A and B are shown apart, each in its own frame.
Chain A
Amino acid sequence: MNIAIRGGRLIDPKHDVDRETTLWIADGRVASIDASPRGFKAERTIDASGLIVCPGLIDLSARLREPGLEYKATLESEMAAAVAGGISHLACPPDTDPPLDEPGLVAMLKYRARSLNQANVYPVGALTLGLKGETLTEMGELAEAGCVAFSHADRPLIDTQLLFRAMQYAATFRYRVWLRAQDAYLARGGFAHDGEVATRLGLPAIPATAETVALATIIALARETGVHLHVCRLSTAEGVAMLRTAKADGLSLTCDVSAHHLHLCDVDIGWFDPQCHLVPPLRGTRDRAALRKGLAEGTIDLVCSDHSPVDDDAKQLPFGEAEPGATGVELLLPLTLKWATEDRVPLASALARITVHPAAVIGVDAGHLGIGRSADVCVFDPNEHWTVTRGALRSQGKNTPFLGLEVPGRVRYTLVGGQIVYER
């Protein structure tokens, strides 16, 4: 279909475009910017005046809960939620049930996702069988089936020799390894950040060292093996500092922060609000400040939603028993905009952190609007504020710490491959 998106402020961070102009789409691809292609007849014209037109958003971590955890969410509900959030590409972690450690499961997931004709789904494969941390998976097979990287989700990988071998193996074939830094022993038994709040509330604590000790290990092994490393969900100020040093040393690694950790800290737990039970835990105000600064200056490359829908029965429990996680795909854009406005980060720069940077980490040519590229577009109103309510969320998981809060930025159109998959 030929589509013209007229009069919007087109922001394409990769190509340094930020001006009011028209985007022309034909045959599912970006046909032209500014002037219309010759002989172009628009079958659909979108009036984007007052709106922002940018590449479809790319979410580095969104749990779709299939296979196996369909009572929490299904592909249908979560993919619908993702495009409602302006997301055209997403990567999903391997901790499904069973975990994505087998090519058949990966192929099935890709097939299911493709048939829904919404966002592009990039499965992340399990680094070890069953995510048990004992035996390596057949990374070659998994990569062939469509895995873009290998990770251990939030399961402990205690055997450092195994971790080393896994990284070596991955490096051999230039596979990417995404790891969250948490030392299983230091974190054992804890679920809140080790600070004043955990002390007052009597919550078993996870010290910052649980992250920094593991991070030191991961960085050292990455240096040794030369693997393509991406560090997931940084949460501590010290962790940001370590990444800064590693990058300055010339190590090519990347890292991300979850949108929740950009905005919330342990104080938000209030009177044991289980909505704030997250992994990694919400840390102190200094940590939050360091994460925001790290993202602004580029030490942290991108922000993801860490979308993890949790059903009500699993959430409405005493804090420690409540399942960690929050629904997030529909909040990725608003929370990124909120951060950018508060910290005076230019819009293009902020959008880069949810488009072109995650694309680079996944290793896919997306997150930009180059001529001839697949027309994956997000059109949103930066000035429309909306209240996060259960009714407003399309995800099956209605649990988020932002319930009841007002956030900026409403998606009006999402296009994937030149097709309008969401409009409002």
Chain B
Amino acid sequence: MRNPQLNAAGDLIHLLTLEGLPAEVIRRILDTAVPFTSIAEREVKKVPLLRGKTVFNLFFENSTRTRTTFEIAAKRLSADVINLNIGVSSTTKGETLLDTIDNLVAMNADMFVVRHAQSGAPHLIAAHLNRTGRSDVHVVNAGDGRHAHPTQGLLDLFTIRHYKKEFHNLTVAVVGDVLHSRVARSLIHGLTTVGTPEVRVIAPQTLLPTALTSLGVRVFNDMREGLAGCDVVVMLRLQSERMKGALLPSAGEYFKHYGLTAEKLALAKPDAIVMHPGPMNRGVEIESAVADGERSVILPQVTFGIAVRMAVLSILAGN
């Protein structure tokens, strides 16, 4: 089965998931992001790389944060950005998803940044473009269902590499609602691909998907055990819907067992860093003292996120 993200020469033409990407492709994106970090510090925060290109933000699921960072990234590359908030279902417009894509391609779209509530939607679009001979139009997955959020995974890898220099001697813990998390899946695939020797997942049984160890991780239900000796702690957001209903009894109960406090953080290595994809639920998955503390790199993650997205857009546009 050919990887739909790569062309015949092995170049990246779509970014849909980190799963199955060659380590070399991932490293190249991280390396390319490095010079982009300094652009934010200049007065003119733009380079002309994507000038004349049109990037469509197709958000079928609302997200001001992600959409804004992609918009900033594209504009810093001098691209034209058009935001389409299509709402929950394309069928409410009476037009199928693929018909919408065909129309936008006919309007000379160069790139689609797609967020969708259904896992696999960006794959459907990319397969359609490949099949109709338009693989020159690139798809970036900005989050599909619980499947993948590859740019988040990449910026998490970038952040880890920035503070820890290399992956080959790290123990990384991912804590929280892995079952519903595309951020967790992408990060796990990214970490295992670049050779992180120990990737841990810490969560109660109800928040863990089946057969998780097949992804190459060690599963812990006890947070203290799981945090022991970690170099990186990644806290996942717990959505409020999960807190009522059958998965968890309450936020308080969750915080007691799986919330990151200074006391629990002390079990990790003394120079361990704390990450979070945001937005944070303070007092649910993480206490403020830790979120704002000196081991937290949560704000730098946001800055790196723009540089990483600029790198992704540039690499795709050039292939």
| A and B touching (Cβ–Cβ under 8 A) | yes
Interface set of A (CB-CB < 8 Å, partner B): 194-196, 198-205, 207, 270-272, 274, 313, 316-321
Residue of B96, B119, B185 near A272 (CB, 8 A) is B119
B182 to chain A: which residues have CB within 8 Å? Answer: 202
A316 to chain B: which residues have CB within 8 Å? Answer: 96-98, 124, 128
Q: Is B209 an interface residue (CB 8 A)?
A: yes
6 sampled A-B residue pairs with Cβ under 8 A: A198-B209, A200-B214, A200-B215, A205-B210, A271-B127, A318-B121
Q: Which residue of B lies closest to A319 (CB)?
A: B120
Query: CB-defined interface of B190-218 with A at 8 Å, one 1/0 digit per residue?
Result: 00000000000000000001111011000
Name the residue among A200, A320, A321 with the largest chain B CB count within 10 angstroms: A200
Q: Are the C-beta atoms of A321 and B1 separated by less than 8 Å? A: no
Measured CA separation A194–B148 after assembly (Å)? 18
Distance between B214 CB and nearest chain A CB, rounded to angstroms: 5
Q: Are the C-beta atoms of B211 and A203 separated by less than 8 Å? A: no
Q: Which residue of B lies closest to A199 (CB)?
A: B209
A319 to chain B: which residues have CB within 8 Å? Answer: 118-120, 124
Q: Is B76 an interface residue (CB 8 A)?
A: no
Q: Are the C-beta atoms of B210 and A318 separated by less than 8 Å? A: no
B146 to chain A: which residues have CB within 8 Å? Answer: 202-204
Q: Is B123 an interface residue (CB 8 A)?
A: yes
Residue of A194, A196, A317, A318 near B119 (CB, 8 A) is A318
Residue of B96, B145, B211 near A320 (CB, 8 A) is B145
A199 to chain B: which residues have CB within 8 Å? Answer: 209-212, 214-215
Measured CA separation A82–B222 after assembly (Å)? 57
A318-B97 contact, Cβ under 8 Å, with A201-B147, A202-B182, A272-B120: yes
Q: Are the C-beta atoms of A202 and B148 separated by less than 8 Å? A: yes
Q: Is B19 an interface residue (CB 8 A)?
A: yes
A272 to chain B: which residues have CB within 8 Å? Answer: 119-120, 123-124
Measured CA separation A272–B127 after assembly (Å)? 10
- Supplied contacts A199-B209, A271-B127, A318-B119, 10 more A-B pairs, CB within 8 Å: A194-B210, A200-B185, A200-B214, A201-B147, A202-B144, A202-B146, A203-B120, A317-B124, A318-B118, A320-B145
Q: Are the C-beta atoms of B96 and A317 separated by less than 8 Å? A: yes
A195-B147 contact, Cβ under 8 Å, with A316-B124, A319-B119: no
Q: Are the C-beta atoms of A321 and B119 separated by less than 8 Å? A: no
Distance between B8 CB and nearest chain A CB, rounded to angstroms: 17
Q: Which residue of B lies closest to A312 (CB)?
A: B96
Q: Which residue of A lies closest to B96 (CB)?
A: A313
B97 to chain A: which residues have CB within 8 Å? Answer: 316-318
A320-B119 contact, Cβ under 8 Å, with A200-B19, A202-B146, A313-B96: yes
Query: CB-defined interface of B94-137 with A at 8 Å, one 1/0 digit per residue?
Result: 00111000000000000000001011110110011000000000
Q: Which residue of B lies closest to A317 (CB)?
A: B97
A201-B214 contact, Cβ under 8 Å, with A271-B1, A318-B97: no
Distance between B145 CB and nearest chain A CB, rounded to angstroms: 5
Measured CA separation A355–B127 after assembly (Å)? 40
A198 to chain B: which residues have CB within 8 Å? Answer: 209-210
Measured CA separation A272–B148 after assembly (Å)? 13
Query: CB-defined interface of B136-159 with A at 8 Å, one 1/0 digit per residue?
Result: 000000001111100000000000
Measured CA separation A195–B121 after assembly (Å)? 21
Measured CA separation A271–B4 after assembly (Å)? 9
Measured CA separation A271–B119 after assembly (Å)? 10
B89 to chain A: which residues have CB within 8 Å? Answer: 321
B185 to chain A: which residues have CB within 8 Å? Answer: 200, 202
Measured CA separation A4–B201 after assembly (Å)? 70
Name the 6 nearest CB pairs between A and B, nearest first.
A272-B120, A202-B147, A318-B118, A202-B146, A318-B121, A199-B209
